[in-house]
Chain A
Amino acid sequence: QKEVEQNSGPLSVPEGAIASLNCTYSDRGSQSFFWYRQYSGKSPELIMFIYSNGDKEDGRFTAQLNKASQYVSLLIRDSQPSDSATYLCAVNIRNYGQNFVFGPGTRLSVLP
Protein backbone atom coordinates (compact mmCIF):
# COMPACT_ATOMS: atom_id res chain seq x y z
CA GLN A 1 0.00 0.00 0.00
CA LYS A 2 1.31 3.42 -0.92
CA GLU A 3 1.65 5.92 1.88
CA VAL A 4 -0.75 8.44 0.39
CA GLU A 5 -3.32 7.56 -2.26
CA GLN A 6 -5.69 9.62 -4.37
CA ASN A 7 -7.89 8.88 -7.34
CA SER A 8 -6.04 10.28 -10.33
CA GLY A 9 -9.23 11.34 -12.07
CA PRO A 10 -10.05 13.24 -14.06
CA LEU A 11 -12.99 14.24 -11.94
CA SER A 12 -15.48 16.29 -13.93
CA VAL A 13 -18.19 18.38 -12.28
CA PRO A 14 -20.53 21.01 -13.70
CA GLU A 15 -20.08 24.64 -12.72
CA GLY A 16 -21.81 25.41 -9.42
CA ALA A 17 -21.68 21.82 -8.16
CA ILE A 18 -19.77 20.43 -5.19
CA ALA A 19 -16.48 18.73 -6.02
CA SER A 20 -15.35 16.05 -3.59
CA LEU A 21 -11.70 14.99 -3.54
CA ASN A 22 -10.50 12.12 -1.39
CA CYS A 23 -7.19 11.01 0.02
CA THR A 24 -6.25 7.99 2.13
CA TYR A 25 -3.03 7.46 4.04
CA SER A 26 -1.25 4.53 5.65
CA ASP A 27 0.40 5.94 8.80
CA ARG A 28 -2.00 5.89 11.77
CA GLY A 29 0.34 8.27 13.60
CA SER A 30 0.13 11.06 11.00
CA GLN A 31 -0.78 14.41 12.54
CA SER A 32 -0.68 16.95 9.72
CA PHE A 33 -2.73 16.97 6.52
CA PHE A 34 -2.52 19.44 3.67
CA TRP A 35 -4.28 20.19 0.40
CA TYR A 36 -2.50 21.92 -2.47
CA ARG A 37 -3.80 23.12 -5.81
CA GLN A 38 -1.51 22.97 -8.83
CA TYR A 39 -2.35 24.54 -12.15
CA SER A 40 -0.71 23.07 -15.22
CA GLY A 41 2.90 24.20 -15.48
CA LYS A 42 2.82 26.00 -12.13
CA SER A 43 4.00 25.21 -8.62
CA PRO A 44 1.65 23.89 -5.90
CA GLU A 45 -0.31 26.43 -3.89
CA LEU A 46 -1.41 25.68 -0.33
CA ILE A 47 -5.20 25.69 0.04
CA MET A 48 -5.81 24.29 3.50
CA PHE A 49 -4.33 22.29 6.31
CA ILE A 50 -6.05 20.35 9.05
CA TYR A 51 -4.74 18.71 12.19
CA SER A 52 -7.87 17.65 14.12
CA ASN A 53 -10.69 15.27 13.34
CA GLY A 54 -13.76 16.90 11.88
CA ASP A 55 -14.34 19.70 9.40
CA LYS A 56 -12.45 22.89 8.72
CA GLU A 57 -13.98 25.49 6.46
CA ASP A 58 -12.35 28.33 4.56
CA GLY A 59 -14.55 30.11 2.06
CA ARG A 60 -15.73 27.65 -0.56
CA PHE A 61 -13.33 24.96 0.69
CA THR A 62 -13.94 22.43 3.46
CA ALA A 63 -11.37 19.91 4.62
CA GLN A 64 -12.66 16.83 6.43
CA LEU A 65 -10.43 14.57 8.48
CA ASN A 66 -11.23 11.13 9.86
CA LYS A 67 -8.17 9.67 11.57
CA ALA A 68 -9.89 6.43 12.55
CA SER A 69 -10.61 5.67 8.90
CA GLN A 70 -7.38 7.29 7.74
CA TYR A 71 -8.83 9.58 5.15
CA VAL A 72 -8.94 13.27 4.48
CA SER A 73 -11.16 14.93 1.93
CA LEU A 74 -11.55 18.32 0.31
CA LEU A 75 -14.93 19.69 -0.70
CA ILE A 76 -15.18 22.60 -3.10
CA ARG A 77 -18.60 24.25 -3.06
CA ASP A 78 -19.96 26.28 -5.98
CA SER A 79 -17.19 24.97 -8.23
CA GLN A 80 -15.90 27.40 -10.84
CA PRO A 81 -14.00 26.73 -14.09
CA SER A 82 -11.04 28.46 -12.43
CA ASP A 83 -10.96 25.58 -9.92
CA SER A 84 -9.89 23.24 -12.72
CA ALA A 85 -6.47 22.03 -11.61
CA THR A 86 -4.71 19.09 -10.01
CA TYR A 87 -5.25 18.78 -6.26
CA LEU A 88 -2.46 17.26 -4.20
CA CYS A 89 -2.92 15.73 -0.78
CA ALA A 90 0.13 15.76 1.54
CA VAL A 91 0.48 13.92 4.84
CA ASN A 92 3.35 13.89 7.29
CA ILE A 93 4.62 10.33 7.60
CA ARG A 94 6.68 9.26 10.62
CA ASN A 95 8.83 6.82 8.65
CA TYR A 96 9.90 9.72 6.46
CA GLY A 97 11.24 11.75 9.37
CA GLN A 98 7.90 13.55 9.67
CA ASN A 99 8.29 14.84 6.13
CA PHE A 100 5.38 15.16 3.78
CA VAL A 101 4.47 12.42 1.40
CA PHE A 102 2.45 13.76 -1.50
CA GLY A 103 -0.25 11.81 -3.21
CA PRO A 104 -0.21 11.59 -7.01
CA GLY A 105 -2.94 14.22 -7.26
CA THR A 106 -6.50 14.28 -8.58
CA ARG A 107 -7.17 16.25 -11.74
CA LEU A 108 -10.40 18.25 -11.44
CA SER A 109 -12.24 19.65 -14.42
CA VAL A 110 -15.13 22.07 -13.82
CA LEU A 111 -17.31 22.31 -16.90
CA PRO A 112 -19.01 25.64 -17.72
Chain B
Amino acid sequence: DGGITQSPKYLFRKEGQNVTLSCEQNLNHDAMYWYRQDPGQGLRLIYYSQIVNDFQKGDIAEGYSVSREKKESFPLTVTSAQKNPTAFYLCASSPRLALEQYFGPGTRLTVT
Protein backbone atom coordinates (compact mmCIF):
# COMPACT_ATOMS: atom_id res chain seq x y z
CA ASP B 1 0.00 0.00 0.00
CA GLY B 2 1.89 3.02 -1.29
CA GLY B 3 1.66 6.41 0.28
CA ILE B 4 3.01 9.05 2.61
CA THR B 5 2.83 8.72 6.36
CA GLN B 6 3.27 11.42 8.94
CA SER B 7 3.45 10.97 12.65
CA PRO B 8 2.15 11.84 15.06
CA LYS B 9 -1.25 13.19 14.01
CA TYR B 10 -1.39 15.57 16.97
CA LEU B 11 1.56 16.93 18.91
CA PHE B 12 1.65 19.15 21.97
CA ARG B 13 4.80 20.83 23.21
CA LYS B 14 5.84 23.47 25.66
CA GLU B 15 7.41 26.67 24.40
CA GLY B 16 11.20 26.43 24.20
CA GLN B 17 11.30 22.75 23.24
CA ASN B 18 12.46 21.43 19.91
CA VAL B 19 10.18 18.89 18.25
CA THR B 20 10.69 16.58 15.25
CA LEU B 21 7.90 15.67 12.85
CA SER B 22 8.22 12.45 10.91
CA CYS B 23 7.52 11.99 7.18
CA GLU B 24 8.01 8.71 5.30
CA GLN B 25 7.08 7.78 1.72
CA ASN B 26 7.20 4.48 -0.14
CA LEU B 27 6.32 5.91 -3.56
CA ASN B 28 9.95 5.96 -4.70
CA HIS B 29 9.67 9.71 -5.22
CA ASP B 30 12.82 11.79 -5.52
CA ALA B 31 11.40 15.09 -4.26
CA MET B 32 9.92 15.79 -0.84
CA TYR B 33 8.48 18.93 0.71
CA TRP B 34 7.33 20.45 3.97
CA TYR B 35 4.52 22.99 4.10
CA ARG B 36 2.88 24.90 6.87
CA GLN B 37 -0.81 25.83 6.86
CA ASP B 38 -2.37 28.30 9.28
CA PRO B 39 -6.14 28.54 9.82
CA GLY B 40 -7.91 29.96 6.79
CA GLN B 41 -4.68 30.36 4.86
CA GLY B 42 -2.90 28.68 2.00
CA LEU B 43 0.14 26.46 2.10
CA ARG B 44 3.58 27.96 2.60
CA LEU B 45 6.76 26.09 1.69
CA ILE B 46 9.24 25.53 4.51
CA TYR B 47 11.88 23.25 2.95
CA TYR B 48 12.17 20.95 -0.03
CA SER B 49 14.56 18.27 -1.19
CA GLN B 50 15.12 17.10 -4.74
CA ILE B 51 17.48 14.27 -3.87
CA VAL B 52 19.06 12.49 -0.94
CA ASN B 53 21.54 14.59 1.06
CA ASP B 54 20.35 17.80 -0.54
CA PHE B 55 17.65 20.26 0.56
CA GLN B 56 16.73 23.88 -0.05
CA LYS B 57 14.99 26.57 1.97
CA GLY B 58 11.49 27.62 1.04
CA ASP B 59 9.68 30.84 1.91
CA ILE B 60 9.59 30.39 5.68
CA ALA B 61 12.61 28.27 6.67
CA GLU B 62 13.62 30.34 9.70
CA GLY B 63 13.26 28.33 12.90
CA TYR B 64 13.06 24.99 11.09
CA SER B 65 15.61 22.36 10.07
CA VAL B 66 15.46 19.20 7.95
CA SER B 67 17.57 16.25 6.89
CA ARG B 68 17.36 13.85 3.95
CA GLU B 69 19.60 10.90 4.72
CA LYS B 70 17.32 8.39 3.04
CA LYS B 71 15.15 8.70 -0.04
CA GLU B 72 12.09 7.60 1.93
CA SER B 73 12.43 9.96 4.88
CA PHE B 74 12.36 13.74 5.32
CA PRO B 75 11.96 14.71 9.00
CA LEU B 76 11.29 18.30 10.02
CA THR B 77 12.52 19.78 13.30
CA VAL B 78 10.67 22.77 14.68
CA THR B 79 13.17 24.58 16.87
CA SER B 80 12.62 26.93 19.76
CA ALA B 81 13.66 29.77 17.42
CA GLN B 82 10.40 29.46 15.49
CA LYS B 83 8.26 32.25 16.90
CA ASN B 84 4.79 30.94 16.05
CA PRO B 85 5.09 27.17 15.67
CA THR B 86 1.45 26.26 16.25
CA ALA B 87 0.14 25.17 12.83
CA PHE B 88 -0.85 22.28 10.60
CA TYR B 89 2.28 20.75 9.03
CA LEU B 90 2.02 18.90 5.74
CA CYS B 91 4.61 16.71 4.07
CA ALA B 92 4.40 15.97 0.36
CA SER B 93 6.37 14.09 -2.26
CA SER B 94 6.56 14.08 -6.06
CA PRO B 95 8.39 11.96 -8.65
CA ARG B 96 10.61 14.98 -9.20
CA LEU B 97 10.43 18.75 -8.90
CA ALA B 98 7.53 20.50 -10.66
CA LEU B 99 5.47 17.33 -11.01
CA GLU B 100 2.30 16.44 -9.14
CA GLN B 101 2.69 16.36 -5.36
CA TYR B 102 0.96 13.94 -3.03
CA PHE B 103 0.36 14.86 0.57
CA GLY B 104 0.55 12.96 3.81
CA PRO B 105 -2.27 13.26 6.40
CA GLY B 106 -0.50 16.08 8.27
CA THR B 107 0.60 16.75 11.83
CA ARG B 108 -1.19 19.33 13.93
CA LEU B 109 1.32 20.94 16.29
CA THR B 110 0.26 22.99 19.28
CA VAL B 111 2.87 24.83 21.33
CA THR B 112 1.85 26.48 24.59
Contacts and interface: CB of A to CB of B under 8 A. Distances in A.
Interface of A: 31-32, 34, 36, 42-46, 49, 88, 90, 92, 96-100, 102-105
Contacts of B105: 42-43
A51 B43 CA distance: 22
Report the contact-size class of chain B (Cβ under 8 Å from the partner): 20 to 34
Contact of B97 (A36, A97, A105): A97
Contact of A102 (B42, B48, B106): B42
B106 A43 contact: yes
Given A99-B48, A99-B58, A43 B104 contact: yes
B97 A88 contact: no
B61 to A, nearest CB: 13
A103 B42 CA distance: 6
B100 interface: yes
B24 to A, nearest CB: 15
B90 interface: yes
A98 B33 CA distance: 13
A32 B101 contact: no
A43 B101 contact: no
A107 to B, nearest CB: 9
B100 A49 contact: yes
A46 B101 contact: yes
A103 B102 CA distance: 17
A43 B98 CA distance: 19
Which 4 A/B pairs are nearest by Cβ-Cβ distance? A43-B103, A102-B43, A98-B98, A104-B42
Given A43-B103, A43-B105, A99-B48, A104 B41 contact: yes
Contacts of A36: 103
A44 B100 contact: no
